[in-house]
Amino acid sequence: MTMSEKMLEVKNLNTFYGSIHAVKGISFEVNKGEIVTIIGNNGAGKSTTLNTVSGIVKAAQGSQIIFNGQDITKTAPADIVKAGLVLVPEGREVFPQMTVETNLLLGAFSRTDKENFGKSYERIYKLFPRLEERKKQAAGTLSGGEQQMLAIGRAMMSEPKMIAFDEPSLGLAPNIIKQIFSMIQEIRSQGISVLLIEQNANMALKIADRAYVLETGRITLTGDAKKLRKDDAIRKAYLGGK
Q: Where in the chain are the domains?
A: 6-238
pLDDT (tens digit, 9 = 90+) per residue, 102-114? Answer: 999 999 988 888 7
Write a three-state SS string for 50-68. Answer: HHHHCCCCCCCCCCEEEEC
What is the average per-residue pLDDT within 72-90?
A: 95
Q: Is the pTM of this model over 0.95?
A: no
pLDDT, tens only, 102-160: 999 999 988 888 788 888 889 999 999 999 999 999 999 999 999 999 999 999 999 99
Q: What is the DSSP letter of 218?
A: E
Q: What percent of the chain has pLDDT over 90?
A: 83
What is the rounded distance in angstroms from the CA atom of residue 9 to the CA atom of residue 240?
31
Give 214's strand partners: 219
Four-way CATH pick for 6-238: 3.10.20.30, 3.40.50.2000, 2.30.40.10, 3.40.50.300: 3.40.50.300
Predicted confidence at residue 4, as pLDDT, reads 58
Inter-CA distances, 78 with 87, 132, 189, Å: 11, 27, 26
Mean pLDDT of 56-80: 96
At 140 the three-state DSSP class reads helix
> Hey, which bits of the chain come out as E strands?
6-17, 20-31, 35-39, 64-67, 70-71, 85-88, 162-166, 193-198, 210-215, 218-224
Query: Which residue from 230, 150, 218, 160 is spatially nearest to 190, judged by alpha carbons?
Result: 160
Reported as a pLDDT band with limits 50, 70 and 90, residue 3 is: very low
